[in-house]
Amino acid sequence: MNDPLIFERAIHFAASIVAAGIVFFVAFVCEPALRKTANDTLALTLFARLRWVAWFSFAFALVSGGAWFVLTAASMSGQSLADVYAHDVLWTVLWQTNFGNDWLVRLILASALAAVSVAFLSTRGAKSAWLKAAAVILAAAFVGSLAWAGHAIDGQGAEGVIHPIADILHLIAAAAWVGALVPLALLLTMTGQDADALAVARTATLRFSTLGVVSVATILLTGIVNAWYLSGSIDALTETKYGHLLLIKIALFFVMAGVATFNRLRLTPKLVENPDLAVAHNARRQLSRNAAVEAAMGAAIITIVAALGTLPPGSHAHHHESEGLIPPDASFQHIHGIDGMADVMIEPGHVGTANVTIHLWNDDLETLPASGVTLTLIAPTPGSKPTSRAANKDADGVWHVDGIALPESGNWTVSVGAVLGPDKRLDLTAPIVIDAK
């Protein structure tokens, strides 16, 4: 969990989800609730705070997205961060890779959403239906496009259609629920002044409760689809690092859902239906605290999602671990690309001299034929020169490089280049950990 890419991914996911969540909250919860009051001060103050949260979210999304892009470009190219800037690698990755194309589209979507949000988050008059529709569609597209930065894009056939759609809906539903918790907590803390403000809290809570039920159901159904494709079996859940993190994520989700259920069944009726203002205000305060607790658990889930995106799916990792192909002292990395994937095993995975085994696979876990394979390793010290060696193929179609020197420990970069045909190559790059002796 000390990989900087994980933290950049977590920040970007969280910022994107909150930015989209504010739009969903205003469109479906906040503005309809504010029609219940003539208190302009409440509306002005609430929208001012929402604008601050939204602009900070956009700023964090932009900065973290840029850092994520640079780190990924360095990993893809096998070059240091300094060389990435000096050798036009960023430009190449932006225009010539699916990841770069997705980031370009997301930058355009973020810019359009930010421009529309200037008017959408203004309190001057009622929002037109066209403005609401534009803001909601752009927010959904912005957060949903994160699916192209995950494992869902790697599928083939029916999986290549169903899995991305499920992932997009999963992300949009997460923004509508988790991303909207922060503005809900803000609104609930600001509506304790009088009965007029309390009416706003009551309407907002009811509308958010409905939005939450739809979102949780969507997350549950699409989560089942995602887990099926990425894990595929109980063993993959219980016997791989990916599966262990996924189980923690699922457990946190059900705890969040439990808190949401308590809010809906116990606290919401006290706020909405109880004529005793003291009881209603106490329920409002508890709902505000619970929204903050749910948001914190949501942040933990987002961090786990960020880590899951850097690991091989449990369905793939378990295929090899179950066969006992990974010795305890080896370093292993699964690298998944559009045209194939590679398992790279360095044994022993610590400082010294090691042997490297490379197995190329297609998405059906069949050996991928190649006429030549090149292995490149780059030490973690900035400016380290890459070590490239041609691999030799054995009778089983597995490629080997023997006698590789590993002079230092840390997060190395491993690249595999394979010739698949006259005009087809497979180029894969990922980090791999080398331990000290």
Q: Give the model confidence (pLDDT) of 160-170 as tens digits.
A: 678 789 999 99
The model carries a pTM of 0.75
Residue 309 dihedral angles phi and psi, to the nearest 5°: -65, -15
Model confidence over 278-299: pLDDT tens digits?
898 899 999 999 999 999 999 9
Segment 8-27 shows an average pLDDT of 95
Residue closest to 133 by CA, chosen among 115, 120, 123, 114: 120
* Percent of the chain whose pLDDT exceeds 70: 87
pLDDT of residue 265: 93
Residue type, 75: S
- Which stretch of 124-133, 152-161, 314-323, 399-408 has the lowest confidence by average pLDDT? 314-323
pLDDT of residue 315: 54
Residue 153 burial (C-beta neighbours within 10 Å; 0-12, 13-18, 19+): middle
pLDDT of residue 111: 94
Cβ neighbours of residue 352 closer than 8 Å, sequence gap 6 or more: 405, 406, 437
Model confidence over 166-218: pLDDT tens digits?
999 999 999 999 999 999 999 999 987 778 888 889 999 999 999 999 999 99
pLDDT of residue 397: 86
Residue 306 and residue 7 in contact, taking contact as beta carbons nearer than 8 Å: yes
Segment 33-54 shows an average pLDDT of 86
